Copies of this chain bind each other. A is one copy, B any other.
Amino acid sequence: MTATAEEFTARHRDTLERALEAIRERAFWTPYPEMPKAYGEEAAAEGKAAYDGYLGRSFPLVQPGTDEMVGGEKSPYGVELGVTYPHPDLDVLLPAMQAAMPKWRDAGPAARATVLIEALARLNARTHEIAHAVHHTSGQAFGMAFQAGGPHAQDRGLEAVAYAYAAQTAQVAAAEWEKPQGPKPALKMAKRFTAVPRGIGLVIGCNTFPTWNSYPGLFASLATGNAVVVKPHPNAILPLAITVAVLRDTLAEAGFEPDLVALAVEKPGEGLAKVLATRPEIRIIDYTGSTEFGEWLERNAPQAVVYTEKAGINTVIVDSVEDYKGMLGNLAFSFSLYSGQMCTTPQNIFIPRDGITAGGEHKSFDDVAADLAGSVEKLLGDDARANALLGAVCNAGVSERLKKAESVGKTVLASRTVANPEYPGAEVRTPLIAAVDAADTDVYTAEWFGPISFLIAADDTDTAIETFRKTVTEHGAITAAVYSTDDEVIARTEEAALDAGVNLSVNLTGGVYVNQSAAFSDFHATGANPAANSALSDLAYVANRFRVVQSRRHI
């Protein structure tokens, strides 16, 4: 190992140890502050200047096999970024990446982990810069782009590094084996066990969370010795280009080939993800996006291990509640955050058609619907506050679904466009809430990605639980929640959640929202229902990204 790699190992050994403890204990922990002020007085201005410096230029990234510069990101807030990026000749780029792997493999799990933690530390130091890039590609409000695109994504990267290290060191690196042979001398063998990479990993980024959803697969594959080619969503390249550049610099400084990580940006209509996914060099794929393409990958890339996060129908069961206002506020926030453009936004809210008991009083279905609508209106009544919480619509599909939803069921709350003085071109939308009936399965068994939620009138709570179990089993969900003052109802919902394989939040009324998961504590998705075939992160997410190869000899 080089002196620099050793220095990185010494610097980050404690962070690795702490992360290993965190993934086991699952209490609160993070090394990356989520408050912008924690990054120092100059950081905000420097980050903005760094971001502005990219605009209208070629992104400074020199990779093997670049045949032209491409890219045409337009911010959901209305600004043309004008940045271009390397487009790869795969027959040049992929062999260079393969050639980079043996030295990385030979460095071993600890060196790989700590070099990657150094890269995460550098990414963390550039959080303001990355926040602007995420803000202007995803359409997230700046505050959310800062947290989700910066420290929370870095947390998920570190978590993956920790799992990868734990899995690779599940057995000793070398052992002596001595088998008694009765009166004869024992048989003795020396054995070595080496974690070897699968090959090149492919990370296919998404539009809405370019860093958060990409970092787990990116860091898990690198930490297990693989090279990784990152194929960003064509609307959200910059955050991943910065990430790739930081990783390449860190790897080179540590004495490894920078080509262990590369960016692959597609030309319009090229379908580069499909091309890459079926290349024999690609042995691992991480994907976040539509069910259709996720299933295509699962079926058409048999040479690779494929991890997917797809669509789901996130569900809330409302049975009864003590803190009615707390529930209303909590759900209103969950509907609104990033204008519902999260894979975790609740969509299907089951409410008994005869109403519920809330804080000791009866509330009819219509009362609850009206109160939820009122709570959202109150939350978003001030445009400045609304702009800080909502997001800009990141693609036309969201606008189209909002239009279509206007004629579904009974509109309880119409969506409106919030004026954004800074970016007049941005389409910042508030949630649409529609009341439908449990019989309207055609409506609510599809995902309506965006700020669209259905209040579904159920015969009773037991029927709601059974419909929840059935619809999530069949169509998947990333999140689920239940509100009840009855321990029996909660127990039955938990049983249904175990059966359907979805993570459940119970009686959320405070500052924790069903659409948020905390790295090192909450698993994101379960891999147990059709919405995802894996979870971020767990042992299953890392253990098959490498294989162990053994050598043995007599002693």
Contact = CB atoms under 8 A, between A and B. Distances in A.
Interface of A: 23-28, 102, 105, 166-167, 170-172, 175-181, 187, 189, 191, 193-194, 196, 198, 298-299, 302, 494-495, 497-499, 501-512, 518, 521-523, 526-528, 535, 538-540, 543-544, 547-554
A119 to B, nearest CB: 25
A189 B512 contact: yes
Consensus secondary structure, chain A interface: mixed
Contact of A26 (B28, B171, B506): B171
A554 B26 contact: no
28 contacts: A24-B171, A25-B172, A26-B175, A26-B191, A28-B178, A28-B179, A28-B180, A102-B499, A177-B518, A177-B521, A179-B518, A187-B510, A187-B511, A194-B498, A494-B551, A498-B549, A501-B549, A503-B551, A504-B549, A505-B552, A506-B551, A506-B553, A508-B553, A509-B554, A526-B547, A526-B549, A539-B543, A540-B544
A181 B511 contact: yes
A24 B172 contact: yes
Nearest to A170: B539
B506 A198 contact: no
Nearest to A182: B35
Given A299-B299, A512-B552, A526-B547, 8 more contacts: A24-B172, A26-B172, A26-B177, A27-B176, A196-B498, A494-B551, A501-B549, A503-B549
A6 B24 CA distance: 26
A528 B26 contact: no
Contacts of A180: 28
B302 A299 contact: yes
Contact of A550 (B25, B178, B503): B503
B196 A539 contact: no
B522 A552 contact: yes
Contacts of A299: 299, 302
Contact of A547 (B27, B505, B528): B528
Contacts of A502: 549
Nearest to A34: B179
A533 B47 CA distance: 46
A73 to B, nearest CB: 34
A106 to B, nearest CB: 9
A360 to B, nearest CB: 19
Nearest to A522: B550
A492 to B, nearest CB: 12
A193 B522 CA distance: 9
A334 to B, nearest CB: 14
A508 to B, nearest CB: 7
A322 to B, nearest CB: 11
A193 to B, nearest CB: 7
Contacts of A193: 26, 523
Contacts of A105: 498
Q: Most B CB atoms within 10 A — which of A172, A503, A508?
A: A503
A553 B198 contact: no
Nearest to A186: B28
Contact of A507 (B175, B495, B538, B554): B554
A311 B523 CA distance: 38
Contacts of A553: 505-508
A177 to B, nearest CB: 5
A497 to B, nearest CB: 6
A179 B26 CA distance: 12
Of all A-B residue pairs in the complex, the 9 with the closest CB atoms, nearest first, are A528-B547, A506-B553, A540-B543, A26-B175, A540-B544, A539-B543, A503-B550, A543-B543, A504-B551
B27 A497 contact: no
Given A498-B105, A498-B549, A538-B170, A512 B554 contact: yes
Contacts of A175: 25-27, 521
Contacts of A535: 547-548
Nearest to A507: B553
A246 to B, nearest CB: 27
A503 B196 CA distance: 12
Q: Most B CB atoms within 10 A — which of A166, A505, A535?
A: A505
A23 B544 CA distance: 17
A398 to B, nearest CB: 29
Nearest to A510: B554
Contact of A528 (B198, B302, B518): B198
A470 to B, nearest CB: 14
A106 B175 CA distance: 37
Contacts of A302: 298-299
